[in-house]
Amino acid sequence: MRITRMALQYRWRLFAGLITIFLASGFQLAIPILIGSAVDAARSLDGNNVEIANGMVVSAIDEITGVFGEGSDPAKTALIIIAVLLFIMSVGRGLSAMIQNYMGESIGQAIGYELRMLYYEKLQRLSFSYHAGVHTGDLITRGIIDVEGVRMFVQTALLRTVFLIVLIGTGMYLMLSEDLTLGLISLSFVPFVAWRATAARLKLRSNWYQLQERLSALTKVMDENLGGIRVVRAFASQDHEMKKFDEASNETLALANIQVGIRASNISLMGVAFMLAMAAVLWVGGLKVIDGELSPGELTQFLAFMSILLQPVRQIGMMINGYARGSATGGRLFAVLDLVPEIQDKPDAKDLVISKGTLEFHNVSFGYEGEHTLNGVSFKVEPGHTIGIVGPPGSGKSTIAHLVPRFYDPIEGYITIDGQDLRDVTLDSLRKAVGVVEQDTFLFTASVEHNVAYGDPWAPDDRIELASKYAQLGDYIERLPSGYNTLVGERGVSLSGGQRQRLSIARSIMLKPKLIVFDDSTASIDAATEQRIRAALTDLTKDRATIIISHRLSSLMHADEILFIEQGNIVERGTHEELLALGGHYNDLYELQIRPTEFDSAHRESEGRDNDGGGS
Amino acid sequence: MATRDVHERSHEIPPKASIKLGPTQDEEVFGNAFSGQVVGRFLKYVMAYKALLWVAITAVLVFTITSIAIPLIVRNVYDDALKEGAGDRSKLAVMVIAFLIAIGFNFVANYLQELIVGRVAERILIDMRRAMYSHLQRISLSFMDKTEIGKLMSRLQGDVAALQEFLQTAVFALGDLVLLIGIIGAMIWLDWRLGLMTLAVLPTLFIIRIIWLPYARRSFLRARVTSSIVSGALAENINGIRAVQGMSREYVNYDLFDIRATDNLKAANRASKFGVMMLPIVDTLTGAAMAIIVIMGGFFVLGGTIEVGVMVAFVLFVQRFFDPIRALTMHYNVLQRAMASGERIFEVIDVPVDIADKPNAIDPDEIDGSIKFENVTFGYLPNQPILKNINFEVKPGETVALVGPTGSGKTSTTALVHRFYDIWEGSVKVGGYDVRDVTQDSLGRHVSMVLQEPFLFSGTIFENIKYAKDDATREDIVAAAQAVGAHEFIMKLPEGYETELEQRGGNLSLGQRQLISFARAIVADAKILVLDEATASIDSYTEMLIQQALQRLMEGRTGMVIAHRLATIRGADRIIVLQDGEIIEMGNHDELMELGGLYSRLYSMNYASFDDIPDELIQQATQAAEGTST
Ligand SMILES: Nc1ncnc2c1ncn2[C@@H]1O[C@H](COP(=O)(O)OP(=O)(O)OP(=O)(O)O)[C@@H](O)[C@H]1O
Ligand SMILES: Nc1ncnc2c1ncn2[C@@H]1O[C@H](COP(=O)(O)OP(=O)(O)OP(=O)(O)O)[C@@H](O)[C@H]1O
Ligand SMILES: [Mg+2]
Ligand SMILES: [Mg+2]
């Protein structure tokens, strides 16, 4: 498994972990042997019986008995020695268990960290086309819960599995070599446990996948409800929302119950299998003792072995859960990590070199899914010039804006800046040179200052203030009690629509882009404020190429060229005067917006009549 | 990843725009391990499953008792059936049968405890989440504005899960406690001298734990806090990915994230150290206890005071003795976390619903559609009024427009019609009723809104337009879409009305989203329609078509329209001009144009570009707008 391979990087810790595993199981297994001999030692009224006990102990005892001198009772001496050995073994077991656990956890944490960084990095690189199709709640869950799942898996399962195998393996060997029949009986639970474990793991795993899916559906419901809280309130749709919640929530409950059921039957079945084996040992072993084939000490040894194995057997149950979870969550995580961003630097990409800053679209076609959204769009903006774009909703204006910083690649045709194809330059240099004021403003839950300086985190205060002034936001901010440190709320809820847009303009100005695109970024701003923004920006846009997308014609009537887009085609193009002369769509818009009198008075008269009718 | 110079720089001077810290430290209270209040309230949720829980507790007890019984049976095997030279098969058989019976009980009890505790815990998880969620549906918007969704989500998910875990552990902790007491009792019963000697190690353990605890607790807490910071930073980057990529913040963010993730790594490793430290301590004490048993027990056996079976039982007990202790200390952790989580959950549940229906609130079936603002003063923050002494009236069937510079309070005014917020002074009347006297549900039915920001849900276009209007037919929906001019583009989509929208409608253009949200408001079929820049992202031509269609729909309805493109509202019966939260002009288009105030200036701005307009006009408008700010 891939996670195991990742763990192999931490060779030293893994090695230390493995060594301590062997130590720990050695100590662990020595304990029953010692206990067994202690029982026999205590039973023996005559010290010789001690020799029944394990050879190692016996020789140790013999050696040290000498030291004790003759007067002491050899049985007592033996007991003391065994006790000391027991104590040492226990301490040894504790220490090696500590190291082993620590190694396991620290590898787990290191891998968790590594995955987290990889995941973060990958998400930052994945292009818009990927992000558009996944729910942010899902991505967040993966980054938190799935990384945690993998970490827990590494931490508890990986080294622990080795430990259990070593422990159970050696235990088996010891028991079998001691007494074959009894050994076989006491191990009879192993195949059963192994079978249950595999069966349950498969079931749990598929259940886990389903549960995660349902959980992410539930997350989506809750997340959108809270994000769209104003809509929920506006439509007083709390009941509707509770119904959605209950449906999603009950689906998760059903699956969680199945999971609890599998776990409960698993744990209890494994436990009972083990206990049955113990009963059998007691019966068969007891008979053997009665027949004198076995010493009671040896029987104790068997029982002690078994009770040492009890914990590991229980843990197998838990680890199956861990495996199921680890492979399910690991699978989802790696699915993201393995994605190749659609848009990335070519291996030989160079930084964009801007000599003048001329942007040119060459017969560009583009579509999001199959169908074409743009068809053969060509235009050119020189520095200091402005292109205006108008068109009905969904005609492809924002799409054009998204192609400039290469959020998407054209399907046909190409885009150049100063003759360099966008696909041949590095994304970083391109995006630093191009500023897009997005139509759909996103603000971070942070202070005004942090939002303005988002693209230039080391900007001095005076630049931040200047940019805010340009965007006609300065006065407003300064009047706020906490000024630039005012928090804007999630996505800027505590700002008005126009304030959000102006903040976003200020943020883009901070980048000092060579080329700037305003995507309908003054729609919520009144005309007077907009005029002032434009007046302030004339300075800035003087030697830059500018694209203005707007529905308000006064915003772009002075553009050097205006494109009217409809269904991805440029249907009209020219200067304001040329387009008016053409008398097409643009002219219609103009009539509607700009010449209220003729177009409108007729319109208004009819309206007036309607109102009269309605009112009376 | 090559982090370039940014990497070095980010360590020297912190970058201006820092990733927010996620749940902040001050929020993580140094939780008491036990808060009677939290537990008491939690118990209320638990009590709903009283009967089941009694079964579970019985199962836990049975399980514990059989667990204690098993070593005792083994002891009897030794002492009765396997006596030296006096082995007795029938006694052995009896013992083994007793053993089997114990196993049987153990098995059933084990299964039941796992199953019931697990399921009840799942149910309670859902109950608590539901309680919190449904409360969130009622909490006022002023609370929601200040609260991050991410934090609420982590309460709805993480904190609820912590309480669930607590419940599970609590039941098992009970078992552990009984087990511990049972073992101690059994040991003393078997042989009190040996028992007491063995127990002598316990005080040492407690002393060590008392010293260890505060350090460990702090390190665990730190690990938890850093981890939630990491989660917060991740969530923020995912939500704002477009801004991140658009402004090339990847490198800086990566470095900042790295700092936080490294913090977390360190804290987690430290916490592990404290965690594993207990292992050798417990094992040393186990070793000591076993040594005592071997020596003293052995001597007793040699001296003939106890039988060997007792010693065997002791050894078996000691092995189990420390398990519950270890488990109990682990539960302590869970307990502490649960208390912190519980406090956070109840904190949400306790947020007062300051905008609640009056007990005798009326729920009128029909209203006349009038709106009346009387001396309304309102603000979001104390002492900072946003709307000042607003007075106006809209008659049934009238259409009124709100105009004014950005931030002048237009959206706030519409929010009051729907009672999103409660006003400070004055009264807002809808259909002749004070909004505080009617139910919020009825306001929802009689007032429908197109919000300034078009928010759509994941799901099909059809579901979005229909939204909460369960009795809307397909024809209603298509008619609404046609009225706003959305039908055409919807039909062009491969799946038509069944097209699945991505999050927030991301696969539509903004104008298209606005149209859908417009259609949604029409389907709601309310007496009053509030349009907050409903056509800001729509071209004038489409807008005109919508207006024509609306004329039919608006018959007999009241309209409240906000727009910056003044051509949109020229036809309104009345235009209210707001500036800095005050009404400065009111009248119809012609009257206001004649008045030559702010409206007429804004209007001329609209159809001219600044090059055309004489400088002084810009000056004037500029001053006018600046008047807003001074
Ligand atoms: N939830 C809120 N919390 C705190 N302040 C707010 C909140 N919503 C709005 N404000 C502030 O109240 C003032 C009025 O905002 P409002 O949204 O009513 O303006 P508006 O007239 O709709 O402006 P726009 O045309 O830009 O949408 C603004 O200064 C804004 O910052
Ligand atoms: N992420 C996406 N996935 C699929 N289709 C999309 C996506 N974004 C936009 N579209 C579709 O592409 C077309 C063009 O959208 P675009 O956003 O460019 O329109 P627009 O001209 O900016 O419109 P508006 O004036 O409403 O902003 C629309 O039909 C829209 O539904
Ligand atoms: Mg657009
Ligand atoms: Mg507004």
Count CB-CB contacts under 10 A for residue B541.
20
Same domain, B176 and B216: no
Cβ atoms of B556 and B500 within 8 Å: the answer is no
Cβ atoms of A305 and A175 within 8 Å: the answer is yes
Residue A369 in contact with ligand 2 by CB distance below 6 A:
yes
Q: Whose CA is nearest to atom 13 of ligand 1?
A: B407
| Pairwise CA distance, residues B537 & B533, whole Å | 8
Query: In the beta sheet, which residues pair with residue B531?
Result: B450, B561
Estimate to the nearest angstrom the gap between the alpha carbon of B330 and the chain centroid.
27
- SS3 percent helix, strand, coil of chain A, rounded to 5, is 70, 10, 20
pLDDT, position A218 = 92
Same domain, B444 and B587: yes
| Pairwise CA distance, residues B630 & A615, whole Å | 41
**AA identity, residue B217:** R
CA-to-CA dists, residue A313 to A291, A308, A320, A562, B63, angstroms: 31, 9, 11, 76, 17
Say yes or no to pLDDT of B233 above 90: no
Instruction: Report yes or no on B298 lying in a domain.
Output: yes
The top-level CATH class assigned to A1-168 is mainly alpha
| Best to test chain A binding among B3, B277, B294 (most A CBs inside 10 Å) | B294
pLDDT digits (tens, 9 = 90+) for B382-440: 888 999 999 999 999 999 999 988 889 999 999 999 999 999 999 999 999 999 999 98
pLDDT band at residue A591 using 50, 70 and 90 as cut-offs? confident
Residue from A371, A399, A403 to probe ligand 2 pocket by mutation (most atoms less than 8 Å from CB): A399
| Pairwise CA distance, residues B503 & A516, whole Å | 28
Residue B540 in contact with ligand 2 by CB distance below 6 A:
no
- What's the CATH number where B54 sits? 1.20.1560.10
Three-class SS state of B617: helix
Cβ atoms of A324 and A201 within 8 Å: the answer is yes
Q: Sign (positive/negative) of CA torsion B446, B452, B457, B458? A: positive
Cβ atoms of A515 and A404 within 8 Å: the answer is yes
Count CB-CB contacts under 10 A for residue B267.
21
Residue A493 in contact with ligand 1 by CB distance below 6 A:
yes
| Phi, psi (degrees; rounded to nearest 5) at B432 | 90, -10
Its pTM stands at 0.85
Return the structure tokens found at B332. 């302590």
| Pairwise CA distance, residues A490 & A479, whole Å | 21
Three-class SS state of A398: helix
Q: How close A533 gets to chain B, by Cα (Å)?
A: 10
pLDDT band at residue B28 using 50, 70 and 90 as cut-offs? very low
pLDDT, position A67 = 43
Instruction: Report yes or no on B535 lying in a domain.
Output: yes
Count CB-CB contacts under 10 A for residue A380.
14
Mean pLDDT of A546-570: 91
Query: In the beta sheet, which residues pair with residue A414?
Result: A362
Same domain, B403 and B520: yes
A249–B81 C-beta distance less than 8 A: no
Residue of A nearest to B238 (CA): A136
Residue A501 in contact with ligand 1 by CB distance below 6 A:
no
Q: Of A59 and A160, which is predicted with more confidence?
A: A160
Estimate to the nearest angstrom the gap between the alpha carbon of B16 and the chain centroid.
29
A431–B246 C-beta distance less than 8 A: yes
Instruction: Report yes or no on B198 lying in a domain.
Output: yes
What's the domain range around B49?
32-190+331-354
Query: Is B95 in the A-facing interface, judged by CB distances under 8 Å?
Result: yes
Mean pLDDT of B284-303: 83
| Pairwise CA distance, residues A581 & A561, whole Å | 14
Three-class SS state of A207: helix
> Residue A499 CA: which ligand 1 atom is closest?
26
Q: How close B279 gets to chain A, by Cα (Å)?
A: 5
Same domain, B201 and B280: yes
Which of A28, A24, A27 minimizes the C-alpha distance to A307?
Answer: A28
A593–B606 C-beta distance less than 8 A: yes
| Pairwise CA distance, residues B318 & B289, whole Å | 7
- What's the CA angle centered on A610, arms A605 and A616, to 5 degrees? 125
| Pairwise CA distance, residues A362 & A421, whole Å | 10
Same domain, B87 and B173: yes
Into how many domains does chain B fold?
Answer: 3
Three-class SS state of B256: helix
| Pairwise CA distance, residues B150 & B146, whole Å | 12
Residue A402 in contact with ligand 2 by CB distance below 6 A:
no
Within 8 A of B5 by CB-CB distance, chain A residues are: none
> Residue A500 CA: which ligand 1 atom is closest?
26
| Pairwise CA distance, residues A163 & A157, whole Å | 10
Same domain, B169 and B200: no
Instruction: Report yes or no on B182 lying in a domain.
Output: yes
A39–B524 C-beta distance less than 8 A: no
Same domain, B384 and B346: no
For chain A, report the end-to-end CA distance as a whole number of angstroms.
79
Poorest-confidence range of A59-68, A163-172, B335-344?
Answer: A59-68
Estimate to the nearest angstrom the gap between the alpha carbon of B608 and the chain centroid.
49
Within 8 A of A80 by CB-CB distance, chain B residues are: 295
pLDDT, position A73 = 65
Residue from A451, A488, A493, A499 to probe ligand 1 pocket by mutation (most atoms less than 8 Å from CB): A499
Query: Is B470 in the A-facing interface, judged by CB distances under 8 Å?
Result: yes
- The residue assigned the tokens 């827990």 is A152
| Best to test chain A binding among B245, B430, B547 (most A CBs inside 10 Å) | B245
| Pairwise CA distance, residues B400 & B563, whole Å | 11
Q: How close A95 gets to chain B, by Cα (Å)?
A: 5
A526–B405 C-beta distance less than 8 A: yes
Estimate to the nearest angstrom the gap between the alpha carbon of A25 and the chain centroid.
37
- The residue assigned the tokens 């203005």 is A548
| Phi, psi (degrees; rounded to nearest 5) at B25 | -55, -45
Same domain, B39 and B114: yes
- What's the CA angle centered on B446, arms B443 and B447, to 5 degrees? 75
> Residue B489 CA: which ligand 2 atom is closest?
29
Residue of A nearest to B257 (CA): A117
Same domain, B197 and B185: no
| Pairwise CA distance, residues B556 & B566, whole Å | 24
Return the structure tokens found at A333. 């995580």
Q: Torsion-angle region of residue A420: left (phi > 0), alpha (psi -120 to 50) or beta?
A: beta
Of B251, B254, B509, the CB nearest to A394: B509
| Pairwise CA distance, residues A465 & A448, whole Å | 10
Say yes or no to pLDDT of A430 above 60: yes
CA-to-CA dists, residue B586 to A363, A600, B408, B598, angstroms: 51, 21, 15, 11
Cβ atoms of A118 and A337 within 8 Å: the answer is yes
Query: In the beta sheet, which residues pair with residue A387?
Result: A547, A561
Within 8 A of B443 by CB-CB distance, chain A residues are: 236
- CA of B539 from ligand 4 middle (Å) equals 19
Same domain, B379 and B504: yes
Residue A441 in contact with ligand 2 by CB distance below 6 A:
no
| Pairwise CA distance, residues A486 & A465, whole Å | 14
pLDDT band at residue A225 using 50, 70 and 90 as cut-offs? very high
| Pairwise CA distance, residues B443 & B421, whole Å | 13
Q: How close A124 gets to chain B, by Cα (Å)?
A: 6
Of B74, B234, B489, the CB nearest to A394: B489
- What's the CA angle centered on B126, arms B125 and B128, to 5 degrees? 70
Residue B405 in contact with ligand 1 by CB distance below 6 A:
no
A35–B315 C-beta distance less than 8 A: yes
Count CB-CB contacts under 10 A for residue A370.
6
> Residue B409 CA: which ligand 1 atom is closest?
18
For chain B, report the end-to-end CA distance as a whole number of angstroms.
49
Residue B386 in contact with ligand 1 by CB distance below 6 A:
yes
pLDDT digits (tens, 9 = 90+) for A458-473: 888 889 999 998 888 9
- DSSP symbol at A513: -
pLDDT, position B620 = 46
A228–B302 C-beta distance less than 8 A: no
Residue A499 in contact with ligand 1 by CB distance below 6 A:
yes
CATH architecture of A359-582: 3-Layer(aba) Sandwich (3.40)
- Is the ipTM higher than 0.95? The answer is no
- DSSP symbol at A389: E
Within 8 A of A132 by CB-CB distance, chain B residues are: 502, 506-507
Instruction: Report yes or no on B320 lying in a domain.
Output: no
pLDDT band at residue B25 using 50, 70 and 90 as cut-offs? very low
Cβ atoms of A88 and B280 within 8 Å: the answer is no
A231–B254 C-beta distance less than 8 A: no
Average pLDDT over chain B reads 83
In chain A, which segments carry CATH 3.40.50.300? 359-582
Same domain, B105 and B210: no
Return the structure tokens found at A81. 């020695």
Q: Whose CA is nearest to atom 24 of ligand 1?
A: B406
Residue B517 in contact with ligand 2 by CB distance below 6 A:
no
Mean pLDDT of B142-149: 85
Instruction: Report yes or no on B473 lying in a domain.
Output: yes
In chain A, which segments carry CATH 1.20.1560.10? 1-168
Say yes or no to pLDDT of B266 above 50: yes
Which of B561, B573, B558, B572 minimizes the C-alpha distance to B528?
Answer: B558
Residue of B nearest to A607 (CA): B571
Instruction: Report yes or no on B601 lying in a domain.
Output: yes
| Pairwise CA distance, residues A516 & A509, whole Å | 9
| Pairwise CA distance, residues B436 & B422, whole Å | 8
Quick one: how many helices (H) and strands (E) in chain A?
A: 24, 10
Query: In the beta sheet, which residues pair with residue B372?
Result: B393, B429
Mean pLDDT of A336-357: 89
Element (H, E) at B429: strand B425-430
pLDDT digits (tens, 9 = 90+) for A509-539: 888 898 999 999 888 888 888 888 888 888 7
Residue B511 in contact with ligand 2 by CB distance below 6 A:
yes
Poorest-confidence range of A165-174, A179-188, B137-146, B613-622?
Answer: B613-622
DSSP string, B149-211: HHHHHHIIIIIHHHHHHHHHHHHHHHHHHHHHHHHHHHHHHH-HHHHHHHHTHHHHHHHHHHH
Same domain, B438 and B498: yes
- The residue assigned the tokens 């883009």 is A508
Instruction: Report yes or no on B21 lying in a domain.
Output: no
Cβ atoms of A272 and B103 within 8 Å: the answer is yes
Cβ atoms of A78 and A41 within 8 Å: the answer is yes
